[in-house]
């Protein structure tokens, strides 16, 4: 008997077009709400980065952001970012001006993400991912989104990497408690193909005693 995968796939596609078939786009209603929300953002007395009800940042997360910004090693990391530029590390006061502080915080955050993703990948390949990985990824996802709203996202190296990281972390966070090996493989594929870990290691400076397990 001849197996005809293309024939099957085409017929599947024809039927699948009825799946969640979209109704006409309610353009005007949605545009009105988008405009209203953007007006509200502009008129809001405090900066609002995520205006939707799902996007409120509770105070503990704002504290996380503050911690990131004024974290230890600010001056040393700032100097590493200035490779090729003049010599002495900037003073902490200089380092806290606008983009620089956020860049430093972003690099620290990416270092934490690298540790988490390396751990996740090793465990995913062994077929058993620890339950604490989910909350870990969720915290990192929250911080990633904070940084995406900050000047760090404008950095040509950091911005795209933060965006890729957001997508990967969102997938990890979505894993059900019953970890399907297929889904773990999917995320591992995404890490592999998107080269996320390699990019993270390029951006994050190596500390002297730090060991990073190879892939």
Partner 1 sequence: MTVPESAHLDYVTDRELVDRVLAGDAAAERALYDAHVDRVYRLAYRMAGSVDMAQDITQETFIRAFQQLPRFRGEAALSTWLHAIAVSVALNGLRKVRRFEQREAPLDEALPVGVARREAEPDLKARLWRAIDALPTGYRAVFLMHDVEGYTHEEIGTALGIQSGTSKAQLSRARQKLRTALAPFMGEWTA
User: Is residue 27 classed exposed, middle or buried when 0-12, 13-18 and 19+ CB atoms within 10 A define those classes?
Assistant: exposed
Stretch of 84-92, 114-122, 187-195, 207-215 lying at the interface with partner 1 (CB under 8 A): 187-195
Question: Which contacts (CB < 8 Å, 24+ apart) does range 135-138 have?
Answer: 137/169, 137/172, 137/173, 138/169, 138/173
**Position 202 contacts partner 1 (CB under 8 A):** no
Distance in angstroms (rounded) separating the CA atoms of residues 56 and 155? 25
Size of the site for partner 1 (CB under 8 A): 56
Q: Which of residues 72-91 bind partner 1 (CB under 8 A)?
A: none
Binding mask 16-55 for partner 1 (x = CB under 8 A): xxxxx-xx-xxx-xxx-xx--xx----------x-xx-x-
Distance in angstroms (rounded) separating the CA atoms of residues 166 and 171? 9
The region, left, alpha or beta by phi > 0 then psi within -120 to 50, assigned to residue 126 is alpha
And the tokens for 65? 């952001």
**Position 182 contacts partner 1 (CB under 8 A):** yes
For partner 1, which is the closer residue by CB, 79 or 173?
Answer: 173
Interface residues with partner 1 (CB under 8 A) are 4-5, 7-9, 11-13, 15-20, 22-23, 25-27, 29-31, 33-34, 37-38, 49, 51-52, 54, 148-149, 153-154, 156, 159, 163-164, 166-168, 170-171, 173-174, 180, 182-183, 186-187, 189-190, 192-194, 196
């Amino acid at each position: 008997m001849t197996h005809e995968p293309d024939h099957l796939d085409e017929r599947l596609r024809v039927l699948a077009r009825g799946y969640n078939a979209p109704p006409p786009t309610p353009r005007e209603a949605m545009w009105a709400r988008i405009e209203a929300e953007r007006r509200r953002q502009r008129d809001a007395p405090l900066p609002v980065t995520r205006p939707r009800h799902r996007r409120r940042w509770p105070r503990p997360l704002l504290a996380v952001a503050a911690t990131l910004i004024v974290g230890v090693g600010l001056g040393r990391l700032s100097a590493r970012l200035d490779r090729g530029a003049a010599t002495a590390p900037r003073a902490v006061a200089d380092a806290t001006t606008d983009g620089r502080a956020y860049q430093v915080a972003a690099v620290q955050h990416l270092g934490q993400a690298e540790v988490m993703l390396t751990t996740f990948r090793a465990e995913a390949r062994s077929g058993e991912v620890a339950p604490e990985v989910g909350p870990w990824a969720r915290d990192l996802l929250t911080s990633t989104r904070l940084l995406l709203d900050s000047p760090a996202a404008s950095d040509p190296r950091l911005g795209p990497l933060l965006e890729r990281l957001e997508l990967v972390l969102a997938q990890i966070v979505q894993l059900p408690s019953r970890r399907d090996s297929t889904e773990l493989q999917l995320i591992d594929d995404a890490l592999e193909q998107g080269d996320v870990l390699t990019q993270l290691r390029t951006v994050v400076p190596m500390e002297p005693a730090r060991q990073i397990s190879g892939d």
